[in-house]
Chain A
Amino acid sequence: MSASVLSAPPADAPRAPLTRKLLTADHPTWCPGCGDFAVLASFYRVLEKLNYPQENIVIFAGIGCSSRFPYFVNAHGGHFIHGRSLPLAAGVSLSRDDLHVFAFGGDGDGYSIGGNHLVHTARKNVRMTYIIMDNSVYGLTKKQTSPTSPLGFKTKTDPWGVYDHPINPMRTLINSGATFVARTHATQVNHMVEMMLRASQHDGFSVVEILSECVEFFEGAYNASVPRKGGSFQAIEEKKHDGTPEDAARHDPTDEGAAAHLALEPWPGRFGVYYENKTRATKNALEQDLIARTREKTKGASDLELLQKTFARMR
């Protein structure tokens, strides 16, 4: 249900555009060099570009280093139960469709304890943007295995090296029914801004996976995609539909099969938009539609009249 009735703010006088200064809240407590700083800086830029009314921005997170995000952005939001930020965000998105809802979190928060919620929030296509800061480790609790920890990585809960197969986040997200799925890297600020911006503008459940290095507990995890460290950053070239022969080789993000296929590329894989579905309606919209259809028949009767009619039938 939409509660815009409740919110209806007075038509505002023109206001100053959003700036990093306005958006900054607490000073981040992350370790010096943590990839999450770059994500935060890029997110400020995204918000500056979106220029939403500041009080309509809502940011939730679970628990983890990355999940401290809401403290650092001057907006509404909250730090919640480990793994449960998505149901909380979905509750807000569905009850206040007029707000811009973001969720932030880590790989453990999102794929381990919150994995079930991730699958179903994606499937239902609840309108929100979810940013996963993947460092392939549990940072806050000091180096335990995460669902994206690579085989052989030594952690405190796998002191002999990880031997459980890691998940493939892109495959998981595409399979679950997320309607916008992108992957980026905390060392590629412009790319990161572009991905987050497109995700925020997507009408549906949009996810951006950001490889964000934990310098404290998994240094060098993503060097394979950092040119400065001898790796290479392979961006996805999207189809331009320009009829040129090169275009045939480009990726069509509307093609779910192609997206799933792309997700199988060996480590470190590609960066960019894997999948984008602009046609599937959001749960928010479908619910509004259901409400409209059922209310059409009530001919403007009041809640009291409708309830009394129902009670009469139950007697």
Chain B
Amino acid sequence: MSAPVRPKPFLEPMYCKGCLRCIDACPRDCITPGTEINPATGLVPVRLHLENCNGCTLCIQACPEPYGLRLETEPPGFEGDFVLEDPAKLFGEKCVPIHSEGDLPDNHIALPACEAMVLKGNYAAAIGALLAGCRHFFGYPITPSTEGAELMAKILPRLNGSFVQAVSEVAAVNMMYGTGGAGLPCMTFTSSPGFSLMLEGISYMIGAEVPGVFVNIMRAGPGLGNIAPEQSDIKLACRGLGHGNTRAIVLAPSTPQEMLDLTREAFALAFRYRNPVVILGDGFLGQMTGKVRLPATMIRPGLPAWAVWGDRAHRHNLINSIALAETDLEAHNHHLNRKYAAISACEQRVDCYRCADAEVLVIACNTPARMAKGAVEAARAQGVKAGLFRPITLWPFPIDTLAEILPGVHRIVVVEAGPGQLEDELRLALSHAGIAPPPIDYVRRCGGFLPPQAEILAGILAPEEVPA
């Protein structure tokens, strides 16, 4: 009895991934593993020997690739001539271009003038976030940052907001990706070990261009270290935000007032550039109280056009960081680089104190800058022309202003409560700008100590006596 004449299978080598499932399925051993690599796919398609084939189609059913095996009689699938599944069929009407109003704009609401408050730095940052319209907080408790989170926990429900204590910092950062992708302002408070855990998620947020604000109240490391203040994560925030080509604006407040102002500002920057923004405070600043004035307005945020709105009009808004094709990923990196260049050009911030005629330029940020200011004044009292250059953005480093000041400067003294990461940023910025600096000395403490004013003064006065 001869086999009935039925159509036989046909292999599209382009779509065969060489999984060999069809071989097991074929009862007549018509299929064998391939031996040649398909240059277009880099895979090894199977080979069909159809002498004994009875057209049972079991191989077609076994094939997981929609176009790997098909019957000869089926119309040929032209390469690139098919759509996987038209979303219109799945979800209804096909996506249409955006309703073109673009962004829903922010609303600025005037705040009645009120007396200055006396606040801890952590509380001030939380209030800055609330005034910027942040209603979503994700975090994990960690000393010395937790008060900020605790204030959010108390207030957010009343403001129709959401506070989540995640199971870990890893969970928290990914929740931020979710809220940020929906176009809503969100934030976290953390401290160094927690920031380390968030880096993976930050890289994904930067890749997908998702805004979010990270307040990192740094403590002393490495490893377990302790919970005392240290400027320990300047390197991470400026150079090491997870894998890949990542950058974020890094703001360094030095008073509770700046904790409020810069946190509020951070949200605007995060949305302007569609990028995370990092606020680096030291443990001292987080716990320190100071006089804080409220800004003139608070913000009710709108919704940016790029976000996932969850409606038909925005179906094409895709928030992801994947680009499998090399050309796409290279282009995306070029796009990010242009953004980083724009940030570098427009967002450098610095506070200069008596720098105009300074011969000894002290460079410091965060709490050490306050000690440094005292030391500069003391040096001036002794007739030494000292000045304080206090970067407010650590990335981008305010190199343009520094370049203007440097010609009159004989010596730089970098003051840090940390192992030298600010100095590294300074040196990198100078080197990229092609500026040959005067001698650079430093006054450093770490492990939880702040450099005392007397040590800084000694560093300003006597270069040879700078402590190692």
Contact = CB atoms under 8 A, between A and B. Distances in A.
A74 interface: no
A115 B193 CA distance: 18
B141 A138 contact: yes
6 contacts: A79-B224, A113-B167, A156-B153, A157-B149, A158-B165, A159-B150
Contacts of A82: 193
A147 B167 contact: yes
B141 A144 contact: yes
A113 B168 contact: yes
Contacts of B150: 144, 156-157, 159
B154 A159 contact: yes
Contact of B167 (A79, A112, A138, A160): A112
Contacts of B154: 159
A113 B154 CA distance: 23
**Closest 5 pairs between A and B when the two form their complex, measured CB to CB:** A113-B168, A144-B141, A156-B150, A157-B165, A141-B141
Interface residues of A, number: 21
Contacts of A138: 141
Interface string B147-180: 0011001100100000101011100000000000
A63 B224 contact: yes
Contacts of B305: none
A83 B140 CA distance: 12
A142 B144 CA distance: 11
Contact of B165 (A79, A80, A142, A145): A145
A156 B146 contact: yes
B146 A144 contact: yes
B333 interface: no
A81 interface: yes
Given A141-B141, A141-B146, A157-B141, A81 B165 contact: no
B326 to A, nearest CB: 29
B153 A80 contact: no
B289 interface: no
A144 B165 contact: yes
B25 interface: no
B101 to A, nearest CB: 37
Interface residues of B, number: 17
Nearest to B153: A157
Contact of A141 (B142, B157, B163, B167): B142
Given A115-B167, A144-B165, A160-B157, A80 B224 contact: yes
Interface of B: 140-143, 146, 149-150, 153-154, 157, 163, 165, 167-169, 193, 224
Contacts of A147: 167
A260 to B, nearest CB: 23
A83 B166 CA distance: 14
Interface in A74-132: 79-83, 112-113, 115
Interface string A134-149: 0000101110110100
A113 B193 CA distance: 13
B168 A157 contact: no
Nearest to A140: B143
Given A144-B141, A157-B150, A112 B224 contact: no
Nearest to A115: B167
Contacts of A80: 224
A81 B169 CA distance: 13
Contacts of B163: 157
A157 B157 CA distance: 12
A147 B165 CA distance: 10
A83 B168 contact: yes
Contacts of B224: 63, 79-81
Contacts of B153: 156-159
Given A63-B224, A144-B146, A160-B157, A81 B168 contact: no
A172 to B, nearest CB: 13
A57 B128 CA distance: 51
A158 B156 CA distance: 11
Nearest to B168: A113
Given A142-B146, A145-B165, A147-B167, 19 more contacts: A63-B224, A82-B193, A112-B167, A113-B168, A113-B169, A138-B141, A141-B141, A141-B146, A144-B141, A144-B146, A144-B150, A144-B165, A156-B150, A156-B153, A157-B141, A157-B150, A158-B165, A159-B154, A160-B157
B193 A112 contact: no
A83 B168 CA distance: 9
Nearest to B155: A159
A156 B153 CA distance: 7
A156 B141 CA distance: 10
Nearest to B165: A157
Q: Chain A CB within 10 Å — which of B141, B153, B167 has the most? A: B141
A85 to B, nearest CB: 12
Nearest to B197: A113
B217 to A, nearest CB: 13
Nearest to B167: A112
Nearest to B143: A141
A113 B150 CA distance: 19
A160 B158 CA distance: 11
Contacts of B157: 160
Q: Chain B CB within 10 Å — which of A80, A112, A158 has the most? A: A112
A83 B169 CA distance: 11
B315 to A, nearest CB: 33
Nearest to A145: B165
Contacts of B165: 144-145, 157-158
Contacts of A144: 141, 146, 150, 165
A82 B153 CA distance: 22
A154 to B, nearest CB: 11
A64 to B, nearest CB: 11
A83 B167 CA distance: 10
A73 to B, nearest CB: 18
Nearest to A138: B141
A157 B151 CA distance: 8
A294 to B, nearest CB: 27
Contacts of B142: 141
Contacts of B143: 140-141
Given A82-B193, A141-B141, A112 B149 contact: no
B193 A81 contact: yes
Interface in A184-210: none
Contacts of A115: 167
B193 to A, nearest CB: 7
A196 B211 CA distance: 49
Q: Chain A CB within 10 Å — which of B150, B157, B165, B169 has the most? A: B165
A140 B146 CA distance: 12
Contacts of A156: 146, 150, 153
A217 to B, nearest CB: 12
Contacts of B169: 113
Nearest to A80: B224
Interface string A156-198: 1111100000000000000000000000000000000000000
